[in-house]
Amino acid sequence: MELFKKSLVIGILSGVLSGVACLIFTKIYQEALYLDFSKIVSTSNLFGASIFACTLASIGFWGLKTLLPKIGELIFNLLFAILSFASIVGPIGFKLPLDFEFPEMFPGYAIPMHFFPALIWFTLRPLIKDANPNLLNFIK
């Protein structure tokens, strides 16, 4: 059960940080290019998708580590990376409203954010894995 709790903490924390990264990226992208995609992708959607993806990833991580203790993490990392790449098909094929100005800029906005959950997860996982057990007492 310890692994499940740690995985869930990594998932939720990664999701929140990924949502924050999406907000920062949105602010920079939209101000630099004078574009506004808020009618298409809301702040709550960015946070919701990030938290959902990372929480789902944490359950997948726990499952693979439980079923395949020696290679579960490797398989998870490969799957997470592959699924992150596969998820960019959505923004590439997304049809914007006809009155939307500069629709060709939307993939450049949305695609990088599809990699934030995996990037944050891969950054946090070693930190929590190697952390002092007393640091994670709030999990118990």
pLDDT, tens digit, for every residue of 45-59?
A: 999 999 999 999 999
Considering the domain boundaries, does residue 116 fall inside one?
yes
> Is the whole-model pTM more than 0.75?
yes
- The answer to whether residue 56 is domain-embedded is yes
- Give the model's confidence band at 98: pLDDT under 50 very low, under 70 low, under 90 confident, else very high: low
Task: Report whether pLDDT(137) > 60.
Answer: no
Confirm whether 134 is domain-assigned.
no
- Say whether pLDDT at 72 is over 80: yes
Domain limits for position 17 = 2-126
Q: Is 138 domain-assigned?
A: no
Question: How many structural domains is the chain composed of?
Answer: 1
DSSP 59-79: HHHHHHHHH-TTTHHHHHHHH
CA angle 37, 81, 76 (to 5 degrees): 130
In a domain, 87, yes or no: yes
Q: Which two tokens stand for residue 5?
A: 């709790």
